[in-house]
Structure 1
Amino acid sequence: MYRIVCFATALTIFSVGAAQASPLTLRDCLARAAAANTVLKVASHDEKIAAENIAIAESGYLPRVDFQAGYVAQQEPQSVKIGPTAIPTQETNFGFANLSIYETLYDFGRTASRREQAFLAREAILHGYRGQEQDVFLQVVQAYYGILEGQKFLFTAEEEVKQTTDHQRMAQTLYEQGVVTRNDLLQAQVKLANSKQRRLAAANNLENGWLYLNFLTGQPAGYRDELQEPVAREEAAELDMMMEIALRKRPEIAALKKFVQADEAAVKESKSNYYPELFAKLALDYAQNDKVQEQTIMSATIGFKINLFDGLATTSRQRQALKVKTREEERLRSLTANIRLELQTALNDLKVAGERIAVTEKAIQQSEENLRINNDRYLEKVGTATEVIDAQTLLTQTRTEYSSAVFDYQVAAARVKRSIGEL
C-alpha cells in the first residue's frame, strides 16, 4: 500500500510539472541563437577590430613621441684638418640618445578623412552583423519548422505502419481461410516493410533536424523539447509597400550605404596627399663627445613637408579610391534588385502555400473516407488488396503534402520578414 501511495504521489508531481512546462517557442530559439550561435560569435569580433581602426585613425591628432639610444664604435674618430694637423672632433667610441616630439599641425583633412572612414566602416560592420544575424535567424526558423514538419511526417509514417499492419493481419486471416490468394498476403507484407522503412527514414530526418537546431542555438546535441505549433497565418502586404520597408530596414543596404560613404572619405584622403603637411617638432639630442662644449642640444622646429614625386603612386591611389566607390555603388544597386527578387519569390511561395493548405485540408478527409470504403470492400470480398494499398498510400501522401504546405507557409512568412529586415 505504501508503494502505491508513493507512486501515485510521484505521478501527480510529474503531471503537475509537465502541465506547467511551457513548449519551446520560436522566439526562445531565436534568442538562444543570438546569444550562443558560433557564426555570430565569430562575426561579433569584426566590430571590435573595426573600433580599433578608429583609435588608429585618431592617433593622427596626437603628437608622436620617439626615443632612441645606442653606442657607436668607430675605427677612427672624425677630425678637422687645420694645416698639417688633424684635430679630432669626436670621441672614437661614444654613446648617444635622441628624444623627439612630432605634431602634425595641418594636413588638409587627411587625418579627418581617415577617422571618418574608420567610423563609417565600423557602422557598416555593425549593420553587416545584423544582416548575418537575420540569416542565422532564418536558418533557425527553417530548422524549427523542419522539426515540426518531421514530427508530422513521423506521425504519418507511424499511422501508415498501423494501417498496413492491420491490413497484413486481415490478408493473413483471409488467406488462411482460403478466401484470397497468396499474392494478396505478399503484397500486404511488402507494403508493411516499405512503411517501416519510411518510418525509419522519418525518424532519422527528425533526429538530424534536432541536431541542426541545437547547433544553430548553441544547445547540447542531445537536447530535446516540445516545440510550439504555429497558430495563425499572417496576411502579407503589397509588394511596393514591403519593398519600401526593406529599403529602410534591411541591414545589408544600410551597411553598403555606409561603405559608399567611407569610400567617399577615402577619395578625399587620396586627394589630400597632393598637399603639404605642416608640422612642429621638439627634439633633445645627446652625443657623448668631450671634444665639444655642448653634448646635449635642444631644438624646436616648425616646417612643412611635401612629396614631389612618388612614382605616380598618389595618382594611382586616387583612381583606385574612385573605382572602389563606383564598385560599391553598383553593389548597392545590385543588392536592391536582389532584395526585390527575394521578396517577390517569398510572397509567391507564401501565397501558393496558403492555397495548398486549403486544398489538402479537404483532400485528407476525402482520402480517409476512400481508405474506409476500400477496407470495407476488401472485407466484403468485392475489392482488391491493391485498391486498399493504393488508398493507404494516397492517404499518407495527402497527409504529408498537408504538413509540408503548413510548414512551407510558415517558412515563407519568415522569408518575407527576412526580406524586409524584420525577422
Structure 2
Amino acid sequence: MRKREFILIWIIVSAILNVTGVADAEILTVADGLKLAQENSRLIKIIERDENIAEADIMLAKSRMLPFVDSSMNQTFLTYQPKAIFGPTTVPLSEKTFFSYSLNIQQTLYDFKANASRYEASKIIFQTKKFDTQRVRNLVGFEFLVNYTDILESEKLILVAEKEVERLQSHHRIAEVLYTQGVITKNDLLQAEVRISDAKQRLLTVRNYRALAASHLNNILARPLNTEIETTDFKEIASDIINMDMGKIWELAEIKRPELQIVNETLNVLNLEQKSKKAEYYPKFYVAGGYDYNENRYQVHESNWSLNLGMNVIVFNGFATKAELIKLEQQKFKLLEQKNKLIDEIKLEIAKYILDSRTAQERVSVTENAVQQAEENLRIYRVMYEKGSGISTDVLDAVTLLTVAETNYYKAVYDLRKAEAGVMYSIGTELSEAYE
C-alpha cells in the first residue's frame, strides 16, 4: 500500500514539475531576442563605458579654455618677529603671528587655437566611441541571429530525425508481419533494427546540438544557461539587396559601416592634434588677477589687488614638438593604410555573404524538389515491398535518401537565413531595425 502511495505522489510531483517547466519556457521572437541581446550584452555594457570616459575627456578639454581660479588661506607662526636694522635700532617688519589669504584667477586670451583644437578633437573622439558602440551592438545582434538560426535549424533536424525513426519503425512492423507470413527472411528484420538504432543515435546527437545552441544563445543574452527557449521562425528580408549591383551595395556600406566612420573621424582627430601641437611654436597670451591679504599692522596696506597681462613662449624644448608632429604624421599614414585594408576586408565580407545568399537560394530550390522526389521514391518502394515484389534494402535506402533530402533542404533554408543576416551586417544595417 505504501509503495502505491509513494508511486502516486511521485507521479503528481513529476506532473507539477513538468507543468512548471512548460510554463517557464519562453517564446522568444527574433525582434525580442535582438532587443534583449543588445540590452543585456556584457560586451555592449563594457564598450558603453568608453563613451562615458570620452564624455569626461570633453569636460577635461573644455576646462583648459575656462578661467583657472585658486585660493589659499593660512596662519603663520614665527619663532622670531621679522625686523630690520635701521641705524642704531631695529624696526619690526611684520608681526610674529599673522593671518593671510589670497584669491587668484588666470584666463588664457589666445593660444593659436591649441586648446580649442583639443576640445574639438575630444568631441570627435566621443563620436567615434558612439560609432564603436554601434559596431559592437550590430556584432552582438549578428551573433544572436546566427545562434538563433542554429536553434531553428536544429529543431527542424530533430523533426527530420524523429520522422526517420518513425519511418524505420513502420517498416520494421511491416517486415515483422511479412516475416511471420514467411515472405521474408530474418535478415530483413535485423537490417531494420540496425537502421533504427543508428537513426536514434542521430536523433540524440541533434537534440544535444539544440541544447548546446540554446545555452550559447542564453550566454549572449546574459541569462542562466539552462533557461528554456521556445523559438519562432522568421522570413527572408534581404532578397532585394542580394540582387543589387555590387557597386551599389558597396556605396551603402561606405555610408553605413561604423568602422569606416570611425577611421574617417579618427583622421580628423589627428589633424586637430597636429594643429594643437603646432601652436606650441607660438606664444600664449593670458591675463591674471588676484586679491591678496596679509595681516600686518606695520604695512600701510594689508590687502592689495593685482592685474597682470602676460605671454608664455617655448624657446627650446629639445625638438620635442617636432618629434610629436612627425609622430602624428606617421600615425595618419598608418591609419590610411589601415583604412585601405579595412575597405578590402569589408568588400570581401560583403562578397562572401552575397555569394552565400545566392548559393543558398539555389540550394533551397534544388533541395525542395529533391524532397518531393524522395517522398515519391519511398512511397513506391513501400508499396512494392508490402506487395512482396520489393526488397527491404530498397525501402531502407529510400528512407535514408528522404532523410538526407530533408536535412539538405533545412540546412539550405537556414544557411540562407544566416547569409541574409550576414549581408545586412556587412553593409552596416542596424539589425534591430531590420528584424522588427
Alignment CA distance shift 1:268-1:177 (3 Å):
same
1:290-309 matches, within 5 Å, as: 290-309=297-316
Q: Which residue of 2 aligns with 1:239?
A: 246
CA RMSD of aligned residues (A): 2.8
Superposition deviation, residue 66 in structure 1: 0.8
Q: Which residue of 1 aligns with 2:378?
A: 371
Q: Which residue of 2 aligns with 1:344?
A: 351
Alignment CA distance shift 1:62-1:50 (3 Å):
same
Check conservation: 2:350, 2:426, Cα contact below 8 A: yes
Question: Partner of 1:61: helix, strand, or coil?
Answer: coil
Q: Which residue of 1 aligns with 2:284?
A: 277
Select between 106-115 and 196-205 the one with higher mean Cα deviation: 196-205
- Cα deviation 1:6-54 (Å, max 9, x = unaligned): xxxxxxxxxxxxxxxxx86433433343444333333333323322222
**Letter aligned with residue 112 of structure 1:** A
- Cα deviation 1:150-208 (Å, max 9, x = unaligned): 22111101101111222333444445555545444333223222222222222232233
- In the alignment, the residues of structure 1 paired with residue 290 and residue 367 of structure 2 have an alpha-carbon distance, to the nearest angstrom, of 86
- In the alignment, the residues of structure 2 paired with residue 277 and residue 169 of structure 1 have an alpha-carbon distance, to the nearest angstrom, of 97
TM-score, scaled relative to structure 2: 0.82
Superposition deviation, residue 116 in structure 1: 0.9
Q: Which residue of 1 aligns with 2:22?
A: none
Q: Which residue of 1 aligns with 2:205?
A: 201
Q: Which residue of 2 aligns with 1:191?
A: 195
Check conservation: 1:270, 1:321, Cα contact below 8 A: no
1:140-151 matches, within 5 Å, as: 140-151=144-155
Q: Which runs of 5+ in 2 are unaligned?
A: 1-26, 432-436
Superposition deviation, residue 401 in structure 1: 0.9
Is the counterpart of residue 267 in structure 1 residue 274 in structure 2?
yes
Superposition deviation, residue 147 in structure 1: 2.2
Fraction of identical pairs, as percent? 33
Is the counterpart of residue 334 in structure 1 residue 341 in structure 2?
yes
Question: In the alignment, which of 155, 167, 170 is matched to residue 163 of structure 1?
Answer: 167
Is the counterpart of residue 107 in structure 1 residue 111 in structure 2?
yes
Is the counterpart of residue 396 in structure 1 residue 403 in structure 2?
yes
Check conservation: 1:128, 1:252, Cα contact below 8 A: yes
Alignment CA distance shift 1:311-1:81 (3 Å):
farther
Select between 111-120 and 282-291 the one with higher mean Cα deviation: 282-291
Check conservation: 1:24, 1:228, Cα contact below 8 A: no
Is the counterpart of residue 411 in structure 1 residue 418 in structure 2?
yes
Alignment CA distance shift 1:382-1:283 (3 Å):
same
Superposition deviation, residue 416 in structure 1: 1.3
TM-score, scaled relative to structure 1: 0.84
Superposition deviation, residue 276 in structure 1: 1.6
Question: Partner of 1:273: helix, strand, or coil?
Answer: helix
- Cα deviation 1:216-235 (Å, max 9, x = unaligned): 45677635345134257714
- Cα deviation 1:256-276 (Å, max 9, x = unaligned): 111111111011111112222
- In the alignment, the residues of structure 2 paired with residue 133 and residue 186 of structure 1 have an alpha-carbon distance, to the nearest angstrom, of 55
Alignment CA distance shift 1:75-1:397 (3 Å):
farther
Q: Which residue of 1 aligns with 2:30?
A: 26
Alignment CA distance shift 1:91-1:363 (3 Å):
same
Check conservation: 2:357, 2:416, Cα contact below 8 A: yes
Q: Which runs of 5+ in 1 are unaligned?
A: 1-22
- Cα deviation 1:68-94 (Å, max 9, x = unaligned): 233455565665455787766445555
